[in-house]
Amino acid sequence: MTTNPLRVSWAGPAVAGALLLAALTPLPAAGAPVTIVAAGAAAHMEVICAKEALDYALAVSGWINAWRDYQNTLPGGTQQEILDSAARLDVATSRVGDTGLRLIACLLGASGGGPRPPA
């Protein structure tokens, strides 16, 4: 039982087939987003980060509205109106930061890159 595995009759076709398959396998396009719907860890990631992603998307929507409101108030608004819209923009900005950082922490933690807990 000292057969050299590289000299068996099927070794040549097997290696050639593997090389051919590797050459024909399409590579993902650079920059193409990867939707997290795949099996295994990726699907798990989508489940555990879905709430964070929705919170962030809603916060961004609110921020855009607050920003437009602030921009519209500046020319001709009373001092109180400007102060009120600035306060709303400040709250919306904080919400985007808070939800966005929670989402990033979730995604990076779910992909195994999270900080290690103290011993």
Partner 1 sequence: MKAFFFLLGATALVAACDRRAGPADAAARAVTGVVEVRLGEIAQRFGIRVDRTPAGFLPALQPLTGGGSGSVGPIGARLAALPFVRENDASSLDQPIAVETPAGTVTARFTYRTLGPWKVLDHAVLSVGGGSDADLRIALLDPRIER
Please state, in angstroms and rounded to a whole number, the distance separating the CA atoms of residues 95 and 88: 11
Q: What is the dihedral of CA 29, 26, 108, 114, to 10 degrees?
A: -140
What minimum distance in Å lies between the beta carbon of 4 and partner 1? 10
Does 60 interact with partner 1 (rule: CB under 8 A)? Answer: yes
Size of the site for partner 1 (CB under 8 A): 45
The one-letter amino acid at 5: P
Q: Is the distance from CB of 63 to CB of 95 less than 8 angstroms?
A: yes
Does 113 interact with partner 1 (rule: CB under 8 A)? Answer: yes
Please report, as ranges, the residues that interact with partner 1 according to CB under 8 A: 28, 31-37, 45-46, 49-50, 53-54, 56-58, 60-61, 63-64, 67, 93-94, 96-98, 100-105, 107-109, 111-119
